[in-house]
Amino acid sequence: MTRGVIRGARIASVGVCVPERVLTNEEISRTLDTSDEWIRARTGIRERRIAAADQAPSDLAAEAGARALQRAGLSAGDLDLVINSSLVPDMVFPATGAVVADRLGATGAGAFDVQAGCSGFVFALAAAVSFVGSGMYANVLVTGAEVVSRALDWHDRSTCVLFGDGAGAVVVTGDPDAAFTFDLGTDGAGMPFLNMPAGGARLPASLQTVAARQHFLTMNGREVFRFATRAVADSCTTVLAAAGVGVGDIDLFVPHQANLRIIDNVAKRLGIAPERLFTNLERYGNTSCASIPLCLAEAEETGRLKDGDRLLLAGFGAGLSWGTCVTTWKTR
């Protein structure tokens, strides 16, 4: 477990990109033994976005990144580093971040990927804040980009109804008066509960792995629920203590949008009132690494997130991993 306060960096802007295609629960129920009522009662999801056949995570991330740069008043040439987080990247290698940097025209910037499951955005944000806060870099772009729909078994109603596609990006820049407090952790013993078994070096692609449908996301929902409700609440408590603030000092809690039951359970354990909780799960589903920046963009646009608000962000996912942070939202 890693926790600590990092000073000298802030989020300068946020940008998002979601596919045009909307897939509703009702549409899924036409080909799968499920219903809108069943899905909404168990997950809180009504619809999700699905990427077009020619869209990859890097395409969505580059568009989200371009919008974030524009809002920050920066060009791609101002970037020192691009950090991407994806549960399902473009390919095993090279890093999707390298493709994003090239698409944006950030030819002089370094680029790499963070693979920390659905906690990836918070892990990548911690890296970006560390680089900027140390003075090593001035401007870092963090993207969370997903086309999880390509990794789903659309015959498995326990997983395929949960996820959606999309991307979000933030620009992290220097600010001597800003600070972040992070708590990052992983319990590798939970690896069997959420993974994609085949396609890597341990179980390379073969006729056998394809026939066994091992190239799809698999999840033990009960175990993930148990982990998330415990680990996320504990991590939030830890990071709040490290930041020297209480739950009552938080203006907006933005958790990873995995499942409404998990979100409500964590909020209840922490004692966070509904009006200080932000969710858009109903319309986007679980967009993995993209979920937190998608929420940040919408919260700011709708006036739920304002200059000076204290934020609590919480990610959790494959690993099993968790990542939480506290910071103050600064628009100038």
Q: Which CATH number fits domain 182-328: 3.30.70.260, 3.40.47.10, 1.20.1440.60, 3.50.30.50?
A: 3.40.47.10
pLDDT at residue 1, as a whole number? 46
Which H or E run includes 229?
Answer: helix 221-243
Quick one: which of 99, 96, 121, 87 has its CA closest to 16? 121
Quick one: which of 152, 162, 156 has its CA closest to 196? 152
> Exposed, middle or buried, 36 (CB in 10 Å: 0-12/13-18/19+)?
middle
Which of these is catalytic: 17, 25, 84, 118? 118
User: Is the peptide bond preceding residue 192 cis, with omega within 30 degrees of 0?
Assistant: no
Q: Give the whole-angstrom CA distance, residue 112 versus residue 108.
A: 13
**Ordered DSSP codes for 106-167:** -TTSEEEEE-BTBTHHHHHHHHHHHHHHTTS-SEEEEEEEE-GGGG--TT-HHHHTTB--EE
**3-state SS assignment for residue 53:** coil
pLDDT at residue 3, as a whole number? 62
**CATH code for residues 2-179:** 3.40.47.10
What phi and psi values does residue 115 have, to the nearest 5 degrees?
-115, 95
pLDDT tens digits, 61-113:
999 999 999 999 999 999 999 999 999 999 999 999 999 999 999 998 999 99
How close are the terminal C-alpha atoms of the chain, in Å? 32
Q: Count other C-beta atoms under 10 Å from residue 46's C-beta.
A: 17
> Exposed, middle or buried, 53 (CB in 10 Å: 0-12/13-18/19+)?
exposed
pLDDT at residue 125, as a whole number? 98
pLDDT at residue 133, as a whole number? 97
Crossing angle (nearest 10°) for helices 221-243 and 260-270: 40
User: Is the peptide bond preceding residue 320 cis, with omega within 30 degrees of 0?
Assistant: yes
**3-state SS assignment for residue 84:** strand
- Give the Cα-Cα-Cα angle 169, 322, 113 (nearest 5 degrees): 45
pLDDT at residue 114, as a whole number? 97
Which of these is catalytic: 25, 84, 139, 286? 286
Q: Are strands 81-85 and 110-114 parallel, antiparallel or unpaired?
A: parallel
pLDDT at residue 47, as a whole number? 98
Q: Known catalytic residue: 118?
A: yes
DSSP state, residue 40:
H
Quick one: which of 139, 138, 114 has its CA closest to 127? 114
Name residues of the chain where pLDDT drops below 50: 1
All structural domains of the chain with their residue ranges? 2-179, 182-328
Which of these is catalytic: 236, 256, 259, 325? 256
Q: Known catalytic residue: 286?
A: yes
pTM for the model stands at 0.97
pLDDT at residue 332, as a whole number? 72
Q: Give the whole-angstrom CA distance, residue 18 versus residue 43.
A: 20
Encoding tokens for residue 71?
């809002």
**3-state SS assignment for residue 328:** strand
Domains 2-179 and 182-328 share a fold: yes
Unique residue bearing structure tokens 């999880």: 148
